[in-house]
Structure 1
Amino acid sequence: MPAAPRFGVNYTPSEGWFHHWLDYDSGAVRADLDSIAALGVDHVRVFPLWPYFQPDRALIRPRAIEQLLDLTDAAAERGLDVNVDGLQGHLSSFDFLPAWTRTWHRRNLFTDPEVLDGQAAYLHALAGALADRPNFLGMTLGNEVNQFSAGPHPDPDRASAEAIDAWLERMLAACEKGAPGRLHLHAEYDATWYQDDQPFTPAQAARHGAVTAVHSWVFNGTAQRHGRTGIPTEHHAAYLIELSKAWADDPARPVWLQEVGAPAPLIPPEHAAAFTEATIAAALDCPGLWGVTWWCSHDVSRSLADFPDLEYSLGLLTNDRRPKDTARVLARAARTPRGTPATRTTALAVPADPALRSLCAPGGPVFDAFFRLVEDGARPTTVLDTRARDTAHLAARGITAVVAPEQVLPTPPGGTRS
């Protein structure tokens, strides 16, 4: 754990979006990093596009690795540490997968032996190339790769939870072999916590890798149900942080809010700064927070076609590198000294069975009960229902009271809550 939560951004290049790897411009990257460093943040998360770096299973392009090292060195010159995502994977509604895994060469991303060999070699190569850079934080296996493993993806690579366990262990080992002792982790979108049939499980998220990563997006039904200023909307990131702790075996395991942003139109541009401030404040009230990494650094240029409309305006900085009000909020938070949050002593019991995860999703009784407690002025955390009477576990986490959702939620008119 760092002495205080860290602040950073997910780096979206202002010129060419992530296609900039095809026409890498060191000067443009340095100008982008200058505008990021001016915010006072201390790290960036960067995204090599997998098919550009490994277009053939046996070809990891040396020139692409050199460009990634140039970006990493440029970040170091500006006092920025770098986390590198490997298997891109999925970004801003687009899938980027090598041709050797699709169509005529269709092979399962999580179970095919040759694909696994190629992925492990690629992650090992990236980590090994970066290992001697002092500002290299470590590898994230990929960006929300769980979206490839189940619906609503239109063509999922289905796998069992046991197969995903093996995949995570092998890929994290490849990163560790390439760069021993760095902060290697994996990161999924919130279906891991909310979707009953996801083979990427909450236990995997909270037990594999150096930290637990959560990605918070309120377009998942939260803002639609509760509005732009609703407590669940402004505290959704904090909820995911505290929800993740139920599955952790280590009571002190850090949690990284690795992605969070203000998506229009659910969060209108004129309200984005207020949402950013409220979200960060709620997250910082969670003990064990490793850091906050905002999505994203720069707007996507309107000269690029086919993105969902919200993707064009998520940047803290405009496409010509001017800071928005949201950037000023993040910069202020990054520069404000903060004490350690108090322990959360009240825990809401959540189902340990991953087939019941939807109870934790927006509209589910766990979700609603958590925010009823927040509205009442409590600072809840969560605990698995199988650990609700484990006195040693509760004591290690400082929990003194455990409540079930049915104890928190009002009884429906004319009936009883089951």
Structure 2
Amino acid sequence: MPPAVRFGVNYTPSEGWFHHWLDFDLDSVRADLDSIAALGLDHIRVFPLWPYFQPDRTLIRPRAVEQLVALADAAAERGLDVNVDGLQGHLSSFDFLPAWTRTWHRRNLFTDPDVVSGEIAYLRTLAAALADRPNFIGMTIGNEVNQFAAGPHPDPDRITAREAGTWLTRLLAACAEAAPGRLHLHASYDAAWYQDDQPFTPAHSARLGDLTAVHSWVFDGTAQRHGRGAPQTEQHAAYLVELSKAWADDAHRPVWLQEVGAPAPLIPAEHAAAFTEATLTAVLDCPDLWGVTWWCSHDVSRGLADFPELEYGLGLLTNDRKPKDLAHVLAAARSRAAAQRSTALVVPADPARRSRCAPGGPVFDAWFRLAADGARPTTVLDTRADDPEHLAARGITEVVTPDQVLPTPPGEIRS
């Protein structure tokens, strides 16, 4: 664990969005990084677009890799560490997959031997190029790659949970071989925690890689159901962090809140700073938090078309690099010691029942009932709820089930 919680931002270039790799302008990047560093943040998460870097399975463009290294070096000059996402993959509602995986060349991203060998070569190349940079944190395999494996994606590459685990293990090993001693991980959107038929499971997130990544977006039904200022909305990130711990084998596995943002109109612009402050206050009370990385650095230019409306205004800074009120809130955030959480809510270990943990499910509702009562809850798998060694390692002294926490509806007899 680092000596203090890390605070950073997902880097969205102010000029050209992620298409800036096509017309890479290091001076523009430096100006962006200056505006990020001025907030006092300590790291960025960077997104090469996969088709731009590897347009053919056996062509990883050297110039693109050089530009990535130049960006990392510019970040180092400004005191910023860098995490790099490899397989982009999916960003802001758009898919970016190489032509050699689609249409006439349609092959499964996770199981086709040639595709997987190409992915491994790509990740190794990026990791090796940065391995000697002191400010290189490590690789994230890709951004929310689990969305390609199941609905609601319109054309998923369907796999089993076993195949997902095999794929993750191989790609993480490739990153570790190319850049040993760094932190390498993978990242899923919250379907991994909430969707019963999602092949990327909570166990994958909490046991594979060097850290657990959670992405907290309250447009998943939370804000729609509870409203912008409700505890369920403002503490959704903290809930996901604590939910992840049920599946971890390491009692103190670090958890990275790798994406969290204030999406309008569910979080109106005038309420974004308050939402940011409440989110940070709640999540900084979670033990074993590695870091918080806000989405995102700069707004998307209104000159770019077809983004969902909420994507244009998610930046800490405007498109002309001016900080917003929520940027000042993040800049003022400070690490603090969080006491171990002693009350654990039981969650189902069976991934086919993980929807009970989703917004509106009994685990979700019970966790927030406990939080409202001041219990500072965490979670434990039903298969570990009677394991004294596991509970002691995590400092858990009380275990409760959702049925014990939630009120019994009128007329219902609870067994």
TM-score range, shorter chain: over 0.9
Residues 6-41 of structure 1, C-alpha deviations (whole Å, 9 max, x = no match)? 000000000000000000000000000000000001
> Relative to 1, partners in 2 of residues 1:417 and 1:24: Cα closer, same or farther, differing over 3 Å?
farther
Q: Tell me how large the CA RMSD over aligned residues is.
A: 0.6
Equivalent position of 1:415 in the other structure: 412
Alpha-carbon separation, structure 2, partners of 1:170 and 1:121: 11
1:238-253 equivalences under 5 Å are 238-253=238-253
Match of 2:338 among 329, 338, 341: 341
Unaligned runs of 5+ in 1: none
Secondary structure at 1:187's aligned position in 2? coil
Equivalent position of 2:91 in the other structure: 91
- 2:356–2:363 Cα contact (<8 Å) kept: yes
Q: How much does 1:392 deviate?
A: 0.2
Secondary structure at 2:275's aligned position in 1? helix
1:107-256 equivalences under 5 Å are 107-256=107-256
Equivalent position of 2:292 in the other structure: 292
Equivalent position of 1:399 in the other structure: 396
Answering whether residue 360 of structure 2 is matched by residue 382 of structure 1, we say no
Alpha-carbon separation, structure 2, partners of 1:369 and 1:331: 33
Match of 1:373 among 347, 370, 374: 370
- 2:285–2:336 Cα contact (<8 Å) kept: no
Unaligned runs of 5+ in 2: none
Alpha-carbon separation, structure 2, partners of 1:280 and 1:114: 43
Segments ≥4 residues shifted beyond 3 Å: none
Alpha-carbon separation, structure 1, partners of 2:2 and 2:225: 35
Alpha-carbon separation, structure 2, partners of 1:176 and 1:352: 29
Residues 199-248 of structure 1, C-alpha deviations (whole Å, 9 max, x = no match)? 00000100000000000000000000110000000000000000000000
Answering whether residue 356 of structure 2 is matched by residue 359 of structure 1, we say yes
> Alignment identity in percent?
80
Alpha-carbon separation, structure 1, partners of 2:385 and 2:179: 38
Alpha-carbon separation, structure 2, partners of 1:417 and 1:141: 45
Alpha-carbon separation, structure 1, partners of 2:352 and 2:413: 24
Alpha-carbon separation, structure 2, partners of 1:272 and 1:171: 37
Alpha-carbon separation, structure 2, partners of 1:3 and 1:234: 26
Secondary structure at 2:246's aligned position in 1? helix
Answering whether residue 10 of structure 2 is matched by residue 2 of structure 1, we say no
Residues 160-197 of structure 1, C-alpha deviations (whole Å, 9 max, x = no match)? 11111110010001101110110000000000000000
Alpha-carbon separation, structure 2, partners of 1:309 and 1:165: 35
Q: How much does 1:416 deviate?
A: 2.8
Alpha-carbon separation, structure 2, partners of 1:375 and 1:282: 12
Equivalent position of 2:13 in the other structure: 13
Secondary structure at 1:132's aligned position in 2? coil
Alpha-carbon separation, structure 2, partners of 1:118 and 1:396: 41
Corresponding letter in the other structure for 1:354: P
Secondary structure at 1:246's aligned position in 2? coil
Q: How much does 1:376 deviate?
A: 1.1
Equivalent position of 1:43 in the other structure: 43
Alpha-carbon separation, structure 1, partners of 2:324 and 2:215: 22
Equivalent position of 2:347 in the other structure: 350
Secondary structure at 1:181's aligned position in 2? coil
Corresponding letter in the other structure for 1:58: T
Q: TM-score, normalised by structure 1?
A: 0.99
Alpha-carbon separation, structure 1, partners of 2:307 and 2:371: 36
Q: How much does 1:378 deviate?
A: 1.2
Alpha-carbon separation, structure 2, partners of 1:339 and 1:83: 23
Secondary structure at 1:107's aligned position in 2? coil
Q: How much does 1:70 deviate?
A: 0.5
Corresponding letter in the other structure for 2:381: L
